[in-house]
A and B are shown apart, each in its own frame.
Chain A
Amino acid sequence: MAQYLILVYREEARVAAASADEWEAALKDHLAFQERNAAALLGANALHFTETATSVRPDGSGGSAVTDGPFAETKEALGGYYLVEAADLDEAIAVAEQVPVHFGGGVEVRPVRVFD
């Protein structure tokens, strides 16, 4: 078995503009997805908007530079993740295909690296 991180990207502008009903529907879909895939799910979290992000980079002289904002400004931003266990990429993609997409965007499937 292998682990995959499913990164959920969506358009923050559309999330911000969503009505209470739309928000409710998205939440319901995610809960249903989690229930359906409980056996494969190892962890999941949703994130606050990128406007709350802080980037920390080495400043080149031994210290660090702390800046407001995400690493890269994009229309579609990371909004959460699912960590899943799957036999292979096909199985991981089969889970990823079920992740609800409500506010544009989509998901990216990344194999988790194992060091030995």
Chain B
Amino acid sequence: MATDPAVAAAVADAHRREWAFVLAATARVTRDLDLAEECVQDAYAKALTVWGERGIPRRPGAWLTTTARNRATDELRRRAALHRTLPRLLDRTAGPGPQDPAPEPSGDGEEFPDDRLRLIFTCCHPALAEEAKVALTLRLLCGLTTAEVARAFLVGETAMAARITRAKKKIAAAHIPYRVPPAGELPDRIDAVLTVVHLVFTTGHTAPAGDDLVRRDLVERAVDLARMLRTLLPQDAGVAGLLALILLTDARREARSAEDGRMLLLAEQDRRRWDRAQIDEGLALVREALRPRPPGRFALMAAVAAVHAEAPSWQETDWHEVVALYDLLVQIWPSPVVALNRAVAVGFAAGPAAGLAALDALAAEPQLAGYGYLAAARADFLRRLDRTAEARLAYREALLLTANTVERDFLADRLRALDAAGPG
């Protein structure tokens, strides 16, 4: 019997909206991530047939949670009968933690705790490698399959499966706790979570390689995760900053490539194609995010994006404000990539010669060696200074260091334009 399209759509929707909630609530029963995943996958499969027969439940998330937890309880009984012991997730608190929001009523008297924060703090624990945190977050919070996670990061499926297995094994063997960290540790731990979500976003926003400039699926997952964090941690300025940054940057999505797929720089974009509703939401969040003194790094990056969002045109951009924001940012986050962005802003605020000087001050940064954007930025300043021969060299260097097809086409276009302009 073919599945009713309405039922299939409801299950797909519940997968996107409820996966993290259902898995987090099930993991509390199983204390084992693999078993929890198995039971949740099973519940979704069951939904396809049961919802077809009995109709779509009023609260799909609660139905899926009950089904997954029942299955988990059965499985645990069976395993106990087989005297198999399981590595358990640790949960030292008996009741809901201080950070736990109100439980989700299922509609039939049963209530489930919202354990999504526990789940994401476990996936982003500092004892896990950065790449493992990202993989676990996409897998457990977003419900991506291992194959999808592997594709997102251009890794083979076997390698990704090994990475995820290894991380889960460490969570169980080293007893990484399944809980919301205590208040004293919370700021650092939230920052680790935000870093992971930001990485998912930037990987999607400009795919490191391949034929598409944007990996829309990853961008949407990052938006979902940031919105989820905003719901769970509504008072946190860092969360507001990250969501603002993502919304303001992603608002330009439609304007970033021309009809033929060619990449358009901020200067060339048709600002009428920017998503105004998303910008308005982002601007309100930036104001909230900038309240703490000093503001956090995501708030400052979002503030830079806000300056662009509010400028009626490229020419009217307040570059002095952008430089001032980057000055604050390098103080709290002394990263060479931030310094590079600051140097580029200096070039627009004070002219290409000043920008080039700021860039050349960074030439010795080992972290920027092999970073295509440094060469691309130098090429642009050199071109504007009419130092054509050096500009050509810099474009060629940038081309060697860039694997994204759309970005490569852009650089090649610039190089051709210089060649057409004659010898320099």
Contact = CB atoms under 8 A, between A and B. Distances in A.
Contacts of B174: 4, 89, 109, 111
Interface in B164-198: 173-177, 181, 185
A101 interface: no
Contacts of A111: 173-175
A88 interface: yes
A93 interface: yes
Interface in A82-116: 87-90, 93, 109, 111, 113, 116
A88 B176 contact: yes
Q: Interface residues of A: mostly helix, strand, loop or mixed?
A: mixed
B241 to A, nearest CB: 26
Nearest to A110: B174
B173 A88 contact: no
A113 to B, nearest CB: 7
Determine the main DSSP class of B at the interface with A.
loop
B58 interface: no
A13 interface: no
Contacts of B85: 116
A87 B90 CA distance: 8
Contacts of B181: 90
**Chain A interface category by residue count:** 10 to 19
B92 A87 contact: yes
Given A2-B175, A111-B174, A113-B173, A89 B92 contact: no
Interface string A1-23: 01010000000000000000000
Contact of B176 (A4, A89, A113): A89
Given A87-B90, A87-B92, A93 B127 contact: yes
Which size bracket describes the interface of B in this complex? Answer: 10 to 19
B132 to A, nearest CB: 14
Contacts of A87: 90, 92, 175, 177
Contacts, number: 28
Contacts of B125: 89
A88 B92 contact: yes
B127 A88 contact: no
B264 to A, nearest CB: 47
Contacts of B92: 87-88
Interface in A48-88: 87-88
A5 to B, nearest CB: 12
Interface in B138-164: none
B399 to A, nearest CB: 40
Interface string B115-136: 0000000000101000000000
Contacts of A88: 90, 92, 175-177
Interface centre among B92, B173, B176, B185 (most CB of A within 10 A): B173
A116 B83 CA distance: 10
A40 to B, nearest CB: 14
A105 to B, nearest CB: 19
Interface of B: 85, 90, 92, 125, 127, 173-177, 181, 185
Given A4-B174, A111-B173, A111-B174, 11 more contacts: A2-B175, A87-B92, A87-B177, A88-B92, A88-B175, A89-B125, A89-B174, A89-B175, A89-B177, A111-B175, A113-B173
Closest 10 CB pairs of A and B: A88-B177, A88-B175, A111-B174, A88-B90, A89-B174, A2-B175, A89-B176, A111-B173, A89-B175, A116-B85
7 contacts: A4-B174, A87-B92, A88-B90, A88-B177, A90-B185, A111-B173, A113-B173
